[in-house]
Amino acid sequence: MRSRQVDSTDPSHAQPTGGRPVLSHTATSVVTIDRFIIEQERLHPEATGELSGILYDMALAAKMIASKVRRAGLADILGATDNENVQGEIQQKLDVFANDTIVKAMDHSGRLCGMASEEEPEIIPIPDKFKCGKYCLLFDPLDGSSNIDVNVPVGTIFSVVQKISRGRHGESEDFLQPGRRQVAAGYVIYGSSTMLVYTTGQGTHGFTLDPTIGEFLLSHPNIQIPDSGRYLSVNDSYEQYWDDNVKLLMRKFRGLEGGHRPLNVRYVGSFVADFHRNLLGGGIFCYPANRKNPQGKLRLLYEANPLAFIVEQAGGAASDGTNDIMKLMPTELHQRTPLYIGSRSAVNLARETLAAKAELVTA
Ligand code: AHM
Ligand code: MG
């Protein structure tokens, strides 16, 4: 799904496209992620390059994780007993490996004041021997990792906010900021190919890893989510625990109620994979609250906020059923939230259906 590309050397092309800045690439030029990031940075004369540096480092970490994920099925074959591999290193679970890889790729750069990971209970401080910077990185190192054993795509999700506290190291208040304050967000999907999709608030752009040269190349500039969605992604084995309003909403999405065109049900059970398909094809991913999990399952800071930023920049929307995801004020690092994310019209239908029921209940 390659969009028409433009030549920055031709001044007639130096026009904003749909409010988005036009970057310098031609239909035939190869645009690496590094080039794209630097061109975006140049649109902001005040930029210090620190945010760009974080994105470069994320791309490097993604390549290292991709290479390990690619060999996941071989680990047991090549490794010796007791989790020791042929190099004599102790094998790690892939989600621990992904977590450590990101921390090590980031902690020494001087751009971050701390990190928070879905895999770690507390803020990860920057070691004293390194400089602290003005950004906080929040991430889910390997989302959907329970799917690895059956060779299903998994992903990495990340979010960047600016530090607001005064001290050297990041404090809770720096990490507990609403999604609207994100300055960058993205995800990597380790699928049939590896893709990195990110936004800094100037559109959503996708890059595919060319494994032969080890570079992410621009493949999906200015992604726009189709508004007439095709897909519904939800785990309906929880239907028995849903409220009636959620059951009604799902009947609407299936075309059984309210005269809506039925959506196709597709659920991988790996959020990045479900989200990525719906971002390109249109539709909605839902993880509603249920009686067993009143706040749903997905994490606000590591999963919902970054993908909400991505989807909004692609013309879509994200809600907890009532509020915009990115307006929620987090109170805990590992806070969960119900989530409806995807094409704007589908998310609006979710909001309206859930609100109508709420009125009935309170009347
Ligand atoms: P994880 O972060 O522990 O991997 O859990 C998140 C995953 C998502 O990738 C996926 O959408 C969801 O859990 C699936 O949950 P369920 O099996 O309840 O449908
Ligand atoms: Mg996850």
* CATH, domain range 231-362: 3.40.190.80
Give the burial class of 122: count Cβ atoms within 10 A of its Cβ; 0-12 exposed, 13-18 middle, 19 or more buried. exposed
Structure tokens at 318: 């994200």
User: Phi/psi at 94 (nearest 5 deg)?
Assistant: -65, -35
CA of 307 to the centre of ligand 2 (A): 12
pLDDT of residue 13: 32
Q: Tell me the CA–centroid distance for residue 205 and ligand 2, in Å.
A: 22
Could you give the angle at the alpha carbon of 311 between the alpha carbons of 249 and 268, nearest 5°? 60
- Residue 81's pLDDT is 46
CB 209 within 8 A of CB 67: no
* Residues having CB within 6 Å of any atom of ligand 1: 118, 140, 143-146, 235, 269-271, 297
Taking the C-alpha atoms of residue 159 and residue 307, their distance in angstroms, rounded to an integer, is 9
Q: Whose CA is nearest to atom 11 of ligand 1?
A: 271
Residue with tokens 């307006």: 327
Best substitution site from 93, 118, 298, 334 to test ligand 1's pocket, by max atoms within 8 Å of Cβ? Answer: 298
Q: What is the number of the ligand 1 atom nearest to the C-alpha of 299?
A: 2
pLDDT by 10-residue block (mean), the chain, 363 residues: 34 37 61 92 85 95 94 62 52 86 97 96 96 97 88 95 95 98 98 96 96 95 94 97 97 94 96 98 98 97 98 98 98 98 97 77 42
Among all bound ligands, the one having the nearest atom to the CA of 270 is 1
- Mutate which of 69, 287, 300 for ligand 1 pocket (most atoms within 8 A of beta carbon): 287
Tokens encoding 127: 């070691």
Distance between CA atoms of residues 86 and 320, nearest Å: 47
Helix (H, G, I), strand (E, B) or coil at 93: coil
Q: In angstroms, what is the span from residue 131 Cα to ligand 1's centroid?
A: 35
| Residues 133 and 145: beta-carbon distance below 8 Å | no
Ligand 2 ion local residues (Cβ < 5 A): 140, 143
Tell me phi and psi for residue 206, to 5 degrees.
-120, 145
**Range 197-221 burial, b when 16+ CB lie within 10 A, else e:** bbbbeebbbbbbbeeeeebbebbbb
Q: For the chain, give every residue range classified as CATH 3.40.190.80.
A: 231-362
**Of all atoms in ligand 1, which is nearest to the CA of residue 142?**
4
Task: Count CB-CB contacts under 10 A for residue 261.
Answer: 9
Question: Which of 197, 201, 188 has its CA nearest to residue 139?
Answer: 188
3-state secondary structure of 16: coil
Q: How far is the CA of 360 from the centre of ligand 2 (A)?
A: 34
Residue 349: predicted pLDDT: 96
Ligand 1: centre distance to CA 144 (Å) = 6
Strands (E), the chain: 112-117, 135-143, 154-162, 182-190, 194-199, 204-210, 215-220, 231-233, 264-265, 283-287, 317-319, 339-342
185 Cα–ligand 2 center, Å? 15
Q: What is the pTM of this model?
A: 0.89
Which ligand lies nearest to the CA atom of residue 339 in the structure?
1
Report the pLDDT value the prediction gives residue 75, as an integer from 0 to 100: 64
**Are the beta carbons of 282 and 225 closer than 8 angstroms?**
yes
- Pick from 69, 271, 285 the residue to mutate for probing ligand 1's pocket: most ligand atoms within 8 Å of its CB: 271
C-alpha dist (Å) from residue 354 to 102, 246, 260, 317? 38, 7, 16, 16
Give, for ligand 1, the residue of 95, 143, 267 to mutate: max count of ligand atoms closer than 8 Å to Cβ. 143
Homologous superfamily of domain range 29-220: Fructose-1,6-Bisphosphatase, subunit A, domain 1 (3.30.540.10)
> Where are the CATH 3.30.540.10 domain residues in the chain?
29-220
Q: How far is it, in rounded angstroms, from Cα 111 to Cα 91?
A: 30
Residue 143 alpha carbon to ligand 2 centre in Å: 4
